[in-house]
Amino acid sequence: MAPAWYDRIANWNVASLFARPPPPRTGRSIFLNQHLPNDYFDDKGRVKKEHVYITNQVVTSKYTIITFLPRNLLEQFRRVANVFFLVIDILQFNSKFSTVSPGLVILPLVIVLGITAGKDGYEDVKRHQGDRRVNHSETLVLEGGNWLNHNPAGSKSKTFVKGILPRKHAQKKAISEEDAPASVPPEKDLEDESNNEPQSPHPRHSFSTSSQHTAHSHPTDPHWKRTLWEDVRVGDFVKIRNDDSIPADILICATSEEENVAFVETKNLDGETNLKSRNAVQGLSHLRSARACADIKSGDFRIDCDAPDVNMYKLNAAVITPEATFPVDLQSTLLRGTILRNTKWVIGVVLFTGADTKITMNTGITPSKRGKVERQMQPQVIINLVILVIMAVVCAIADALIEQQKYPQNAYWLYDDNRSGDNPHINGIVTFANALITFQNIIPISLYLSMEFVRTAQAAFIYFDHQIYYEKTDQSTLARSWNLSDDLGQIEYVFSDKTGTLTQNAMIFRQCSVGGRVYKGDTPDQSIMADDLPLKALRDSSSDATTPFPVEEQVPSVLTTQNIKLSASVLAHFRDAALTADLGRSVEPDADTTFSRSLNGFFTVLALCHTVIASVDPLTHALEYKAQSPDEAALVQAAADVGFIFRGKDREILRMQTPFSDHIEEYELMNILEFTSSRKRMSVVVRKLDQSDRRLYLLTKGADNVIFEHLRPDENEELKATTEKHLDEFASAGLRTLCLAYKGIPEDTYQEWALRYHEATVALEGREERIERLCTELEHDLHLLGATAIEDKLQDGVPETIADLKRAGIKIWVLTGDKLETAIAIGYSTNLVARQSNLIIVRGGDRGPQVMDQMRDAVDQFFHEAGIIESLQAKGLEIRTPEKSNKRSSFRNSISGLSDLVGSNNGNRPGGFVLVIDGTALGHALSEPSSKELLLQLAIRCEAVICCRVSPLQKALVVKLVKDSLHTVTLAIGDGANDVSMIQAADVGVGIRGEEGLQAVNSSDYAIAQFRFLKRLLLVHGHWSYARNGTMIVNFFYKNIICIGVLWWFQIYCAWSTQYVFEFTYLLFWNVFWTLCPVIAIGVFDRFMDADILMAIPELYRYGREGSWYGLRLFSIYMLDGIYQSAVVYFFINYAYNVTSTRGDGWEGYIYEFSTAMVVASVMVANVFNGLNTHAWTGWVWFAVSIGIILVWVYTAIYSLISPSAIATPVYGNQVFLFRSPIFYFSMFLAFFLALAPRFLFKAIQIQYWPTDIDILKEVRRSHPDLDFRDHLLLGGRNKGTETLSTADSSPSSRAPSRSHSYPLQALGNGRPSMEAAGRSVTDMSLGGVQSTHRGFDFASEEGGVHIRRMQSNLSERRVRALGAEGDKSDPRRENGIRHRSLALFPSLRRSVRRKVQGPKQPKSPPEPPA
């Protein structure tokens, strides 16, 4: 274990030096029209810190003018290279080590630091501008009269942004208090939408410990004043108008609607576009004007709140008035980030501000992410630094030994070396420092700057790629983090949300089961389906923010309008001829009374058990439902479609029209027992308002397993069995299911229960537990009515995208809040789960060890030969070995006799394994190190994982488990605030920003509009970026090694004195003019494979997953290349010039004659070598490779003409001796060819005899540029020639057009058994047994109704091991019992390419597939 001091240093964060410590978060009491109690003050009369609330100012920027320079420099000097060059530059300020002007020496470091600081500063200025836009938004706050907010607030942060950011609008002139507007009469205040309130530049609030009025109070009547968001304080009364964003977390006092209901759009929080209703607190509904709020008598109350909580779905508070106490929860609050819709105004009280609001607490601090390539590069920089130190030590030792040996011999070059600062005994140390300066280019300082430039260009390529541009919303794919582009090419695990990410979050009511009869709905046609408008247009038409409120007389009421409009989140009406006929027969005298009551009860529950609001569209005058969730809207819409029309709510009166009469039935809403993730159901208690019938009813809907647990003990068993069978059919079709039930409640029972329920709702401690306990107490002995089935439509292209990502070798995990059955069904619909897959289901119970046993049993049964348990036990983890007894086996065989259906080959099916685990089991599995490791080992051996009923925190924990344990590159994609933690935990976070919210996008690294764009982002841009960056970096290291190598070899001939062999300006310009352009061209313009081929053949993505383009092996090869080539250049040219004279006049040559030949040859070798490593020779690449060579020749010619004057020019006259000397040309060009020959020959031989898949495909593209890779069988594209896989399979899926992918048999190494003969097996480990069933799964999963045939997945791990065992068991690539082998996608083409070398004529086209 590392010592504590080391942990502190390793975990130290620069931001901690500049960040304020967060204030303590405790429960709070907010006083309205009341003074603070005495215990809020300390002995000096000051408010205690725990009672001072933070301001509403939100600051996301990193720097201020004061902190920018020190903080940015500290961040940049975390790079080893920057620290090294700073030390070197400081050394050269000493005259003993100086080479040129110290200012010129430090200039490169200053440029690198300056450009990086400029980029960081530009990004932070954008953050400042975003903060300013938010903080300077305006809202209406109560002002004037006797109103005074006594709740104290802290001071705002000084960002110093006013002086550096341009002001778009001049600030309005301040006006005096005498110019304040007159008070608005209370009658007019209700409709006051005036925009003419003056804005004062002075602070509105000041706090005083006395009860006297302070300077900010006005003697005018109470009114609403425009105020900046950052000036809003806890305890302020605010007025929110229609389409305004909510500035803080606000308690609703009153609204413009008669029922005191407000509608909010929460897409910035949870990604859902449907409106949600919120209700005012009952005891504050009289606060409907500024005068009422400011009145000491009517506005005198206190709000007690819990401490700010990160849980988005939890808020406990209570309003305490002199008369009574009223409960407050999320249903009574408007959260910051939401938008008020379809409500003229809302008056509320601010509860939480700034960093205490839920959206800000959930956003968190965006982590600082570094790409895998950059992390790999750091050790290589350290390796070069070690090499540099070794070179310096060698030079120092050799120089010291030589000087000590030659000084006594009076060596002329050691004359006067007898001073204290210059003698043979200390000159070794001086030589060490000089060596660091001489060979400093081995550390490539310009590499970081080059990478920033290249990644910027790659981000621009992504932004301007039209194929990942979403025309419907006019949005391009945006790279928010430019330094992660190469990670896109190395993704091994994708973690995806479901709702809004894989699905549209738009519903269709498909089927229902009522009283044992199933109604599957009529085939939709154009008369039933929604208008042919895009989804966005439908939503806009239902909630058009710009539509003026018409006069009431022009719009019919909800009770009289005859038309029913589709809800924005519902795609189709529900029609069923059989259901209509049964409803008609149910009123006949001879009708089945029991079934008629079931029909009436079923649709009554659908029409009344909800929180939907009915309204009339002012444009179409049609009845429209506004629901908090698309599911609720679809259910109420379906009830209305068959005649049970919900006609809205008046106060607490629900109105419903039935198909049996025009009379509108009325019900009094007594209680709403809300849905929670633990209850998994929702209920309402209603009283029928009829002169002859005033009975109480409990109407319930919820998850099937929960409803079945709460049915009467004597419930009809046949009805239960039939309904359960229908539920299985619905779930198998990928539909979301609910069960409906009801019961009557005796009056005395309800009154006693209601009293206890009210006491629980106002409790501040244990409120949720008490409420849940009371709800469960009432929800028992239910009568089953039936079940519903709703389809959540998939987004366009989701099944194909997931299928192709699986082909690319990427493992996909879906993390969703849906129930287990629905999650599995979505897995089938999205191609995540193949029809031949084996499902391993782990479900949570009341005790953790049950989950452990389920995972252990799964490992023992299906992966026993992998030795997982033994390896974990060897690590010291406590995992009990399963007992070898027949008890468990007999238990399995007794589970409904299902083992006979599965057969003996369970686990050997060719489809592989898919792990399905629910949130409860996941919580147990993640709680202990042993269970966590066992879960990981089980999961990585499955081709996919589905986690259902998981919380946002569990999503992040799952991502971190894989990321930290396997050290793989992970990607998380989501669309809502509940996905933010997962997105931030992954190496690469992708936010969906189509029609959904922006919360996930704001925390993401890449923003896309549709899930299908992920395929091109990874397979094309990821492949290109990783290959380009990896190749650029190793070429960068190489080109510096060849330069340093020539300098190093010269040390042998200069007594290791660290003398430069090159004239210094050549060395100075090496990384600027001579060799920079080719590596930049590789990073920007190189293209290893065309985009259409990468999209058609996803298997090519494996090169990125396997790290083929960058790593220690490639680094070493390029370093050796540089060392070899530097030796050839130096020694060949040195010996060529080692003659009596290279001049025509017989004089001895000067050092800069042959060294200039060396530097020109080195530039030519380095640039052409970079060119050899470039795959796509475009015009820009030609220019980049040639420009450095041209520049060095031109510079040599011109520099040799400049005579010494103000500056020394040691190469003056070189053109006379160089350009006329045959040795110059002979030695330089021969060294050039000899240096490049090994690399050229290796590439030629490798391409001819051992071509990679990329080499083959490049050859095919070159010889057949018009070939369609997407549909060619032998090239790995889709096989359109095979319509069905097996005529024996008569399931609907097999009759659909095949979209499966075919490969040559050699691609898998062995033949593959027929997949059609294998049914799907389900292993439910919570039952300790195996189930097998085939539900004829088939559906239209895409927009447009395209039928998807699920792709055949890869072999199971078990079968791969079996196949691998037949081969070489000593294969070194075998690890943990699994053999990792590269695909041979094109064996026949390999043979054809190889035959070209042997002489046969090249075929005109690739081999055609056999007939």
pLDDT tens per residue across span 336-354? 988 998 889 999 999 999 8
Average pLDDT over residues 7-14: 54
Q: What is the pLDDT of residues 155-211, one digit of tens each?
A: 887 655 443 444 444 343 333 333 333 333 333 444 443 333 333 333 444 333 333
Return the minimum-mean-pLDDT range out of 180-189, 501-510, 690-699, 1262-1271: 180-189
Within 1200-1221, residue ranges assigned H as helices are: 1214-1218
The pLDDT value recorded for residue 179 is: 35
Q: How far apart are CA 969 and CA 960, in angstroms?
A: 11
Token pair in block for residue 731 = 């779930």
Reply yes or no on whether the pLDDT at 624 is more than 60: yes
Q: How far apart are CA 864 and CA 857, in angstroms?
A: 10
Band (272; pLDDT cuts 50, 70, 90): low
The pLDDT value recorded for residue 1195 is: 94
Exposed, middle or buried, 51 (CB in 10 Å: 0-12/13-18/19+)?
Answer: middle
The pLDDT value recorded for residue 1277 is: 54
Reply yes or no on whether the pLDDT at 799 is more than 60: yes
Average pLDDT over residues 1363-1379: 38
Reply yes or no on whether the pLDDT at 248 is more than 90: yes
- Residue positions counted in the chain: 1411
Q: Which helix (H) or strand (E) holds 1292?
A: helix 1292-1295
Neighbour tally for 694: CB within 10 Å: 11
CA dihedral 20, 26, 27, 29 (to 10 degrees): -50
Return the minimum-mean-pLDDT range out of 684-698, 784-798, 809-823, 887-901: 887-901
What mean pLDDT, rounded, does the chain reach?
A: 77
Q: What is the pLDDT of residues 574-604, one digit of tens each?
A: 989 999 888 888 878 777 788 888 999 999 9
State if pTM tops 0.85.
Answer: no
**452 neighbors 116 (Cβ within 8 angstroms):** yes
The pLDDT value recorded for residue 365 is: 60
The pLDDT value recorded for residue 304 is: 92
Q: What is the pLDDT of residues 826-860, one digit of tens each?
A: 888 888 888 778 888 888 765 445 888 889 888 88
The pLDDT value recorded for residue 6 is: 45
Helix/strand/coil for 952: helix
Q: How far apart are CA 949 and CA 851, in angstroms?
A: 15
Name which residue leads in pLDDT, 1133 or 994: 1133
Q: How far apart are CA 552 and CA 556, in angstroms?
A: 8
Reply yes or no on whether the pLDDT at 3 is more than 80: no
Return the minimum-mean-pLDDT range out of 1000-1009, 1126-1135, 1239-1248: 1000-1009
Amino acid at the residue 1108: S
CA distances from 1082 to 488, 645, 780, 1091, 1242 (A): 18, 66, 70, 17, 20
Among 982, 1150, 1117, smallest CA distance to 1041 is for 1117
How wide is the angle at C-alpha 747 spanned by C-alphas 743 and 748, nearest 5°? 120
- Tell me the Ramachandran region of residue 649: left when phi exceeds 0, alpha when psi lies from -120 to 50, beta otherwise: beta
Cα Rg, the chain, nearest whole Å: 38
Q: How far apart are CA 636 and CA 626, in angstroms?
A: 10
Band (1364; pLDDT cuts 50, 70, 90): very low
Helix axis angle for 929-940 and 848-862, nearest 10°, is 40
**247 neighbors 336 (Cβ within 8 angstroms):** yes
The pLDDT value recorded for residue 1284 is: 31
Reply yes or no on whether the pLDDT at 129 is more than 50: yes
Within 1097-1221, residue ranges assigned H as helices are: 1102-1105, 1112-1136, 1151-1172, 1179-1199, 1214-1218
Q: How far apart are CA 524 and CA 884, in angstroms?
A: 56
Among 1076, 1074, 1075, 1067, smallest CA distance to 1047 is for 1067
How wide is the angle at C-alpha 780 spanned by C-alphas 779 and 781, nearest 5°? 140
Among 427, 378, 386, smallest CA distance to 406 is for 427
Reply yes or no on whether the pLDDT at 145 is more than 80: yes
- The neighbouring-strand residues paired with 514 are 517, 786
Q: What is the pLDDT of residues 378-396, one digit of tens each?
A: 888 889 999 999 999 999 9
Return the minimum-mean-pLDDT range out of 156-165, 340-349, 922-931, 1081-1090: 156-165
Going by the DSSP 8-state scheme, the letter that residue 836 receives in this structure is T
Average pLDDT over residues 1373-1384: 40
CA distances from 728 to 260, 760, 1334 (A): 42, 38, 11
Reply yes or no on whether the pLDDT at 398 is more than 80: yes
Name which residue leads in pLDDT, 724 or 257: 724
The pLDDT value recorded for residue 1016 is: 95
Name which residue leads in pLDDT, 463 or 197: 463
**499 neighbors 818 (Cβ within 8 angstroms):** yes
- Give the rounded percent of residues in the chain with a pLDDT score beyond 70: 76
Return the minimum-mean-pLDDT range out of 263-272, 605-614, 690-699: 263-272
Q: Number of C-alpha atoms within 13 angstroms, CB side, residue 665?
A: 23
Return the minimum-mean-pLDDT range out of 481-485, 930-934, 1035-1039: 481-485
Reply yes or no on whether the pLDDT at 530 is more than 60: no
Q: How far apart are CA 341 and CA 334, in angstroms?
A: 12
Contacts of 225 (CB under 8 A, 6+ apart): 140, 141, 142, 143, 144, 197, 198, 199, 200, 204
Reply yes or no on whether the pLDDT at 705 is more than 90: no
CA distances from 523 to 258, 510, 576, 578, 1335 (A): 41, 10, 9, 13, 21
Band (268; pLDDT cuts 50, 70, 90): low
Token pair in block for residue 47 = 């408010």
Is position 497 annotated as part of the catalytic site? yes
Marked catalytic residue, from 221, 231, 497, 857? 497
Write b or e for each residue in 354-373: b if 16 or more Cβ atoms lie within 10 A of its Cβ, otherwise e. bbbbbbbbbbeebeebebbb
- Give the rounded percent of residues in the chain with a pLDDT score beyond 90: 32
Q: Which helix (H) or strand (E) holds 1339?
A: none
Q: What is the pLDDT of residues 946-992, one digit of tens each?
A: 998 787 778 888 999 999 999 999 999 988 767 888 898 899 999 88
- Strand arrangement, sheet containing 261-265: 275-279, 261-265, 339-341
- The neighbouring-strand residues paired with 1379 are 1374
Q: Which of 854-863, 868-877, 1142-1151 has the highest mean pLDDT?
A: 854-863
Helix/strand/coil for 81: helix
